[in-house]
Chains A and B, each alone.
Chain A
Amino acid sequence: MAVTTQQSVDLREPSGWRRAKNQIVTGGMWFAFLCMLVPLGFVLVTVIAKGASTISWQFLTNGTIPPNILPASIGGMGAAVVGTLVITGLASVIAIPLGILGAIYISEYGTNNPLAAFISFLADVMTGVPSIVMGLFIFTIWVLHYGYSGLAGAFALACLMLPIVIRSAYEMLRLVPNELREASYALGATKSRVTLTVVLPAAIGGIVSGALLAVARAAGETAPLLFTILTVESTNANVFSGANTALSTQIFVNATQPYVGAQDRAWGSALTLIAIAFILMIAARLTTARFTRYSR
């Protein structure tokens, strides 16, 4: 064995400044991450701390919301839970199919079509419309003629969800590589076949995620419901007629009261709403994983 007499090579970073830059920027990213975590953690901790004691089976299911002066141990928010679920559910039934179909039109059928470009532009404009304006819009065209109802609330929420669904679904459809479309065309598929059997399945994971984000957003909206469902104190499972109620508007109504009972109910409702959104997110992850099992 010959003894190696090679000079050792210096492979270290030539200047300390580059290392320092790397550390500064990495540190900056950590700082930004922590800054973002603070409000999120604060909201969660506060809502859980103040709301957890209110939550009980009775609170979640009892259908009569008592007068503000009574403590939170009497009655419950069941009416609002039911209202939020049926109104948001109906809004989703209206907005998600319409939004996905719109996105398919813009992405797959509307290339070089001025109408598609116009719809896409309108969807972007709609994203920027304040949610209370959506509520007033439905109030003028629907509530004034047919009265307050869960349906009116669902319309308002659907208006809010539609641009989000269109935008997110469109982005997901654009991400599907053109090679896949070409492969399908080359096997003799028509455009509708290509869209249904290749493009949609390839994009469905992202589309579902985007749609559920829109649902979670809608479930938490207050302003569009203020002028459309009236916010009553008892369960109305008939979403199509009669005034209704929802967690978000109940939070608004109760939190603005000077009574301890009402404020406790507002905190409890807030926690319930967050829990519903959380469950939706988990469901979204599970469905997405199921749909995309072949994409890796």
Chain B
Amino acid sequence: MMEQPEQEITTTRLPKLETTAKAPARQDTPASMIFDVRNVSIYYGAFKAVTDVSLPIYENEVTALIGSSGSGKSTVLRSLNRMNDLVPGARVDGEMYYRGTPLYDKAVSPAAVRRRIGMVFQKPNPFPKSIYDNVAYGPRISGQRNKAKLDEIVERSLRAAALWDEVKNRLKQSGLALSGGQAQRLCIARTIAVEPDVVLMDEPASALDPIATLAIEDLIRELKRNYTIVIVTHNMQQATRVSDRTAFFSVLTDSKNDTRTGVLVEYGLTQQIFEDPHDSRTQAYVTGRMG
């Protein structure tokens, strides 16, 4: 119901896909494209985790990455804010642009990238600090020292993460004392406290119960107004509930060398992927016959 008007806007700039594994033709205005991933392959040492991914990601949309385990969706997500740099031996081949700037240019600082492109992880990971200090952490490392400003940022972020009412009287308590769903919303508040441009979410609700999951999904739809969101999910219903576009990843098995490589099979509007998939593998996956 909510996706319907969104649908009409996006259909005009996204023609039907002829071939699979190809990005949609680029007819969008450059301003609306946040990430331009072109023919990217990602390696861990000699192991090729993902091959030849092309994936444009658009502003103020929720883009879902779905697919079975080992299909490289998390790897692709983590390459978008250079979290893969932390893995020894990780290497990205191909071109990846963020708002027209090459993300993997030598002059680019990963810290500066991550300040604009935040990330929420699968397991809620609040710092062993107070709730307040958790949210204020990002602004503080960005140089914000003004107490009144920090108070305001903490309140605004916690409100945006729909957590303020539950914790406003215990901001000095440990962030570890929160329940799983609250802790995950705290992590989201912490991420948006630095006012990022993009929020990457790596299965943000997979460790949570159904009610907490719905709360996070409501939050994602709410956050879409101000942020561009890329979300990895195992839950296909979740993808249909929150995302505008869906990218389906699959595993290519090379039996000769016994290697498994992730590949982008199909990318398009969420409705099209789930109702009219062009690739037989996508169809098998979304109808539950595979993976």
Contacts and interface: CB of A to CB of B under 8 A. Distances in A.
Contact of A185 (B114, B126, B175, B194): B114
A198 B194 contact: no
B268 interface: no
Interface string A186-199: 11111001000110
Nearest to B137: A187
Interface in B189-212: 190-191, 194
Contacts of B127: 180, 183-184, 198, 202
Contacts of A7: none
Contact of B191 (A177, A185, A186, A197): A186
Interface string B62-87: 00000000000000000001010010
Contacts of B118: 186-187
Given A294-B174, A296-B174, A186 B114 contact: yes
Interface string B129-143: 110010001100110
Interface string A53-64: 000000000000
Contacts of B55: none
Contacts of A180: 125, 127-128
Nearest to A193: B141
Contacts of A294: 128-130, 133, 174-176
Of B111, B128, B137, B177, most A-chain CB atoms within 10 Å: B128
A185 B187 CA distance: 13
Contacts of B123: 179
A36 B176 CA distance: 37
Q: Which 9 A-B pairs have the closest CB atoms?
A: A188-B115, A186-B119, A179-B125, A187-B138, A294-B174, A295-B128, A188-B114, A183-B125, A190-B111
Interface of B: 81, 83, 86, 88, 110-116, 118-119, 121, 123, 125-130, 133, 137-138, 141-142, 174-177, 187, 190-191, 194
